[in-house]
Amino acid sequence: MTLARQHRIQVVAHRGASEEAPEHTLAAYKKAIEDGADALECDVRLTADGHLVCVHDRRVNRTSNGRGAVSALELADLAALDFGSWKARDNRDSWKTRDEEPDWEHLPEDPEDREDTSVLTLERLLELVADAGRRVELAIETKHPTRWAGQVEERLLVLLKRFGLDAPATAADSPVRVMSFSARSLHRVRAASPTLPTVYLLQFLSPRLRDGRLPAGVRIAGPSIRIVRNHPAYIERLKNAGHQVHVWTVNEPEDVDLCVDLGIDAIITNRPRAVLSQLGRGD
């Protein structure tokens, strides 16, 4: 298949280079930057003592050696957990099904490298991006239990302001965008920072959105790859309405081809290096 490359598709590392390193860890994001990712995607949750940490699940059980809800734990509790060994075990069990053994170099076990697989705060991730030596954008997805309604967005904007990222001159100038499945969450962000770009994430295609409309003020749609496969005409309607389209989570070569053919603006993937290579932007 000949790929049409009329525009440059942004390659976004989903939870970092999460196929090769433990998701949402400093190791995964360092690897994504090293691989050439244009942007990094992260989920943020609020700890019991008010820190934003990069954790996808409501509970830490799957990705650490601990148990409990992020919202019920303080940062010090999370910092005592191991967020890396589960990935090493998972890879060691499954690598024989792949063409080659994974890159163990990015699964540090030395205590000196503990930061690379400890819980990652959003503040530390922002520092990493600031020191990247090139423009690396950040796509931040808000996760917010009802008990913290509004506080996640409030803390996020305070932190972005500390880094000078809360009020870009225009949305096009911003290296940061905020994503959510919650239109209310995005409304809170837009009300406080009207020029900060927002992305409305879609897991299923609601009948009321089939015409290409998005919540008021949102200019970027974030459909799942399943929606893209099943409803390519919907992508055309979004583009005709003037919206950008950022698709998650795109890992298979045939799905990358489809995104290119449909003029997708950003591909969110666990495999940034492989996708960049397929797009002709590898080493």
CB 88 within 8 A of CB 23: no
Give the span between the Cα atoms of 97 and 204, in whole angstroms.
31
**Sign of the dihedral through C-alpha 57, 63, 69, 71:** negative
Q: What is the crossing angle of helices 183-192 and 151-162, to 10°?
A: 40
Helix (H) or strand (E) holding 269: strand 266-269
Give the span between the Cα atoms of 176 and 197, in whole angstroms.
7
| Ramachandran quadrant class, 240 (left: phi over 0; alpha: psi -120 to 50; beta: rest) | alpha
Q: Is there a catalytic annotation at residue 14? A: yes
Which of 24, 56, 144, 246 is an active site residue? 56
- From residue 93, how far is each of 71, 88, 108 by CA, in Å? 31, 9, 17
CB 137 within 8 A of CB 39: yes
Give the span between the Cα atoms of 40 and 63, in whole angstroms.
19
Q: Is there a catalytic annotation at residue 51? A: no
Q: Which residues are catalytic?
A: 14, 56
